[in-house]
Structure 1
Amino acid sequence: MKTFVIALLAVLAWPLSGVAGAAPATAAAAAAQPAAQTAADFRPADSRSTDLRPPDLRPQFLLTGAPSRDSQDLSGQWTYSKDLYRTGLTDINGWVAKSRMQRYRDVDVAAEEARATTDFYEFDMDRAPQVSIPGAWNAATPAMRHYDGLVWFQRKFKSPAPDGGRAFLRFEAVNYRAYVYLNGKEIGRHEGGFTPFVLEVTGALRGGENRLTVGVDSTHDAQSIPTFITDWDLYGGITRPVRLIRTPATFIDDATLALKADGRIAGEVRLQGEKAAGQRVTVAIGTLASATATTDANGRAVFDIKAPAKLERWSPDTPVLYDVRFAAAGDTVSDRMGFRTIAVQGSQILLNGKPLFLRGISLHEEEFGPNPARNMTEQASRALLTEIRQGLGANYVRLSHYPHSETTLRLADEMGLLVWSEIPVYWTVDWENPAVLRKALAMQAETIYRDRNRAAVVMWSVGNETPVSPARTAFHGAMADNVRALDPTRLVSAALLVERGKENGEDVTVIKDPLVDKLDVLAVNTYAGWYGNDTLDALPGLKWQVPADRPLILSEFGADALAGYRNDGMKKFTEEYQAEYYRKTLAMADRIPTLRGMSPWILKDFQSPRREHPVFQNGWNRKGLVSETGVRKQAFGVLAEYYRGKAAAAGK
């Protein structure tokens, strides 16, 4: 433990890794990077921060409210080229990649070949096969289904020159490492598969045709987050939209508001640009209220507004969103925002000061269909959330095990679904490696900065099913502290493992995890009746011993069933077994006095290479209440009926 603490102190003096950053000085220098990237190799070259305070974790650019900005959507058909041996980045022995392999070069290969010189090329991105972006390459062709490595993507687009303003590329998500080039110039890099990053391209963008090339490396290792072992599919590619965004020379980079416990609305606006200081900033909350402030020397303006008397608070029953408009220095940003409070009092969770039971379900980011590409369009996301909100009668969704798309979060706001959000510190990571902790904190910050304005988000999770050790607990403790520093308005939780022991001759389930001291809401995963030797009939009588002073959520429980497999006795994988498992587990849950919510595992069957039974699984985890194509299983109705009873008892 002492060694880890010393290492943790040492990381405070390291440049920030795992976020978007400036490129190496030359493309050749980038190509010379070793094939196996270390955290030090991958970090931004120009970061020199010396502490871990929240500003240190703030990305260079945020572009909050990006959907409302002047932008060019670069979705569509991109060409791609596999590069399993990473020849586009580095040659043998770690030498600079040969020019004939550098796929990011701004060159018309066909035209060069027509000149009949001694040069030749071993790539041609213009004539390469095509794939739809956004979307994981795993769904593109059968040959790409289990490809894991480096793939190059290219998109040509036309654009006017910046003409006095500024231009940025905003990637909503690239899984897992991204190397970004525009017109042959490296713009930046990013590590982390589920959070956005913004790169300025003002100096590289040219009027007319531009060539955007992105190298995407899906490889995970012991230092990545998550590591290479999970129970879901580690899709690779540009999985969320890419946009070219234009702003004035001085622009609004960040704008946020939140309702505080004292009934006031607080927030801030941050400008970037040469004229960021001394600017008058206005904010308008629909037609209810407006306020002004002036930016300080750093371009920051702070607001503290009395909540309007007619302000209607956001809740699942009344998911009211207001058109909020920020304006400064000739720039405007708009957003749809709700205002509510969330708090814990004893063993109660209070939404807008009233006790709340979280009727939920867990969800992976996969659209319905036999060949999902993790392309969460509004239609795809709405289909999933509608099953949750209307089909199950839920008011809550656990977005597992990573930050889900902005589209999903904004729909949760609109539809009235409370959200648990987490980053993929899952099962195990390199707990004693300060660079890995730094990476986790950076991912966490990117998530919080993206979603602070979403009323639906009420809980930040700092981990899932991680084995207890001093180093692990210190790691998670640093994450919990980071959440409170960056966003004190929301609750902190984690999905913990439980233990079974004997007390007075009886089996008792207990939480023996020192991390509970860092959490507002306790959450546990339990699979008694599926894993282990418990019979279904034994489940209602299982005894729990949990802290009485904090609310508890059953963050996971579930059993597999193959949709349509019925009437074969009470065998595992039948719909009848799954349905009875839910009945018995819910009876057990009703006997836990501090239980304030649940998110059973899981809404939909999802792909997982761990699950290879040739009859029942075939690469799918079958714990969904609906199949991958949307067929409801018997257990769906069991949970929906239970939630209807909970809602009726609460007077909803």
Structure 2
Amino acid sequence: MQHYPHYPTRRILNLNGFWEFAWLGDADWDAVTPGGFCPESSMAVPGVIDTLPEYTQRRGVGMLRKLLPGDFESGERLRLKIGGMGLFGRIWFDGKHIGDCQLPYSGVSYEVTVDDDGPHELVIAFDNRFDEERVPLFRPNYDFYGYGGIYRSVGLHRLTAHAIERAHVTPLDLETGLVRLAIVLDGDVSATCHYKVAFDGGEPLGLEGTPENGRIEVELRVPNPRVWSPDDPQLHVVEVSIDGDCIRERFGLRTIETRGQEILLNGAPIELRGFNRHEAHPELGPAQTASLMLTDLQWLKRMNCNFVRCVHYPHSEAFFDLCDEMGVLVWTESLGWGNKADELANETFMRLQEEQTRTMVRNGHNHPCIIVWGFLNEAESHTERALPLYRTLTSAIREEDGSRLVSYASNRGTADLCFDLVDIISLNTYPGWIGPVDWDTPSDEAIAPHVNALIEKFSGDSPFADKPLIFSEIGACGLYGCHDLARTQWTEEYQADYMVEAARVVLENLRTCGLTLWQFHDTRSYGPSGQVRSKPRGINNAGVLDEYRRPKLACRAVGEYYGTRTDTD
């Protein structure tokens, strides 16, 4: 499949494959330099060390080196694009430090100026240690494993004077095909530019414009417009050319908005039904293959899902490309999990949260599948100290893209102080599993009283009664292959009963309009900690598939229930 954005005329060096690798262990970053690099083995890129037998449960610094061709010209501008890495990264080109990465999982890029003739050398060092100062966005208490390595594709782009970075398309009118095209330029962009725009391979239209803040914006009509929807995911392609550089971007014509308690897709109410999904696999970690991503989406479609919440960090743009093609709606969110008030008020944490959230929105702008921008899962949004950051992030998202909905998943109930900032109220709760729980009530019988009482608090005289309400997390664990006629805790039977009852109670309440069950597949957590008592095998076992994508009983049970629902229920 073709990934987007695509640069058909640009010379791009695909750097995926095997790189020279050296393990530096518990190194002091002040002493980490590319000089004297001594490779001890090879490592795949994309890839992470944590899934390799020699480095299991080891945390430290790894260094990767790639020798490059020598045909670059002195003074030539290059742009290094990394689809995602973690937990911390530092990059050198020909021994010169060109940047650090403090945004785990985010797609980032760095400009390089070639100083002399080749051969050339690219070195990337990564660190999977927890470090509050160096990696404030990822903390050791997060309930998902933090991997070290380069998670996604790496490419080196050779740039022209008027390089095109992106071409963002925002639908304005579905019937006429009117869109706003924002061309984001990189390089010498002060003078008037002559450029061409073509839709779907048609005749190019010659235009001119003067960039403002590195952008040219224009409103155009897409010929023969087709509306994108989950049932009929029609897609368009726009091609923009300027002075020898060319970009192709794929987009869809669709709208997403709210009306009172409803979410409207293309003007019609929709009920969101799906799961939470991590980018994880025992042998790959977050370095997902195209085959695995396709398999996951086929399972979701088979379970009659129309929605997936991608947790708790930005996921691969390639996954969103597939969601665009297959008609699966997406909630995507920036990195954050259970963050305390002290973190939320920390100046560095706030700056990096805004940076990664803006980056997420810019990277994902053209995916019609994305309907919700999210952030800061289960943080202390019930505290006054959280308010400044929540205001900053919601404002930043709307400044970057006002065409989608904004939300965050909260486990604070009516104590939450930030719900007025978002479009959708999204609640996380685990009655009968995490809490509330007691010895006398079977887990599935605890769901309805708790969920209905919680819903009631956001109805009637509630200040948020006129906002859509969804349950962004609810679920329970089941161990793959564990069965019992008594349907006891940890069995597949127990989990299936819980999941179906949770879906029924949430979706059959007229106040709600969506649900993402926790979770799609089992995921690795942490082994050597006391918290593992609640996670047999060091795994979060709440998936309806196990970590290898083997289905549990809940997979079929939930799929059958979802199949009975329609958007008008």
TM-score when normalising by structure 1: 0.79
Asked if residue 305 in structure 1 is aligned to residue 224 in structure 2, the reply is no
Deviations, residues 495-524 of structure 1 (Å, cap 9, x unaligned): 01144xxxxxxxxxxx33121100101111
Q: How does 1:235-274 map to 2 (within 5 A)?
A: 235-260=147-172, 264-274=178-188
Q: Secondary structure at the match of 2:80?
A: strand
Asked if residue 359 in structure 1 is aligned to residue 273 in structure 2, the reply is yes
Asked if residue 620 in structure 1 is aligned to residue 539 in structure 2, the reply is yes
Which position in structure 2 is the counterpart of 1:186? 97
CA contact (8 A) 2:376 2:408 kept: yes
CA contact (8 A) 1:562 1:616 kept: no
Q: Secondary structure at the match of 2:138?
A: coil
Q: Secondary structure at the match of 1:412?
A: helix
CA contact (8 A) 1:605 1:626 kept: yes
Percent of aligned pairs with the same residue? 26
Gaps of 5+ in 1: 1-62, 91-96, 108-122, 500-510
CA contact (8 A) 2:76 2:114 kept: no
Alpha-carbon distance between aligned partners in 2 of 1:275 and 1:486, rounded to the nearest angstrom: 20
CA contact (8 A) 2:75 2:114 kept: no
* Code of the aligned partner of 1:512: A
Q: Greater shift after overlay, 158-167 or 210-219?
A: 158-167
Which position in structure 1 is the counterpart of 2:513? 596
**For residues 619 and 280 of structure 1, do their structure 2 counterparts lie closer, same or farther at Cα, with a shift above 3 Å needed?**
same
Equivalent position to 1:537, from 430, 445, 459: 445
Alpha-carbon distance between aligned partners in 1 of 2:201 and 2:152, rounded to the nearest angstrom: 34
Equivalent position to 1:522, from 403, 422, 425: 425
CA contact (8 A) 1:64 1:255 kept: no
Deviation of the 1:133 alpha carbon: 1.2
Asked if residue 440 in structure 1 is aligned to residue 353 in structure 2, the reply is yes
Alpha-carbon distance between aligned partners in 2 of 1:304 and 1:417, rounded to the nearest angstrom: 28
Q: Secondary structure at the match of 2:126?
A: strand
Alpha-carbon distance between aligned partners in 1 of 2:117 and 2:150, rounded to the nearest angstrom: 23
Deviations, residues 570-617 of structure 1 (Å, cap 9, x unaligned): 211100100111232123214532211111011111100068768972
Alpha-carbon distance between aligned partners in 2 of 1:75 and 1:587, rounded to the nearest angstrom: 45
Aligned residues: 542
Q: Greater shift after overlay, 322-331 or 76-85?
A: 76-85
Asked if residue 412 in structure 1 is aligned to residue 323 in structure 2, the reply is yes
CA contact (8 A) 2:75 2:115 kept: no
Deviations, residues 507-560 of structure 1 (Å, cap 9, x unaligned): xxxx33121100101111111121222532242344232143111111011111
Asked if residue 608 in structure 1 is aligned to residue 520 in structure 2, the reply is no
Equivalent position to 2:80, from 166, 169, 187: 169
* Code of the aligned partner of 2:152: R
Asked if residue 474 in structure 1 is aligned to residue 388 in structure 2, the reply is yes
Asked if residue 340 in structure 1 is aligned to residue 254 in structure 2, the reply is yes
Q: Greater shift after overlay, 542-551 or 516-525?
A: 542-551
Equivalent position to 2:128, from 218, 221, 225: 218
CA contact (8 A) 2:507 2:514 kept: no
Which position in structure 1 is the counterpart of 2:34? 104
Q: Secondary structure at the match of 1:514?
A: coil
**For residues 79 and 165 of structure 1, do their structure 2 counterparts lie closer, same or farther at Cα, with a shift above 3 Å needed?**
closer
CA contact (8 A) 2:4 2:248 kept: no
CA contact (8 A) 2:507 2:515 kept: no
CA contact (8 A) 1:283 1:292 kept: yes
Alpha-carbon distance between aligned partners in 2 of 1:562 and 1:633, rounded to the nearest angstrom: 8
Alpha-carbon distance between aligned partners in 2 of 1:297 and 1:634, rounded to the nearest angstrom: 56
Which position in structure 2 is the counterpart of 1:374? 286
Q: Secondary structure at the match of 2:110?
A: strand
Alpha-carbon distance between aligned partners in 2 of 1:284 and 1:413, rounded to the nearest angstrom: 21
Which position in structure 1 is the counterpart of 2:550? 631
Q: Secondary structure at the match of 1:441?
A: helix
CA contact (8 A) 1:137 1:373 kept: no
CA contact (8 A) 2:309 2:331 kept: yes
Root-mean-square deviation (Å) = 2.4
Which position in structure 1 is the counterpart of 2:461? none
Which position in structure 2 is the counterpart of 1:329? 243
**Could you list the runs of 4 or more consecutive aligned residues of structure 1 that deviate by over 6 angstroms after TM superposition?**
none
Alpha-carbon distance between aligned partners in 2 of 1:525 and 1:290, rounded to the nearest angstrom: 49
Gaps of 5+ in 2: 459-463
**For residues 419 and 290 of structure 1, do their structure 2 counterparts lie closer, same or farther at Cα, with a shift above 3 Å needed?**
farther
**For residues 169 and 371 of structure 1, do their structure 2 counterparts lie closer, same or farther at Cα, with a shift above 3 Å needed?**
same
Which position in structure 2 is the counterpart of 1:233? 145
TM-score when normalising by structure 2: 0.90
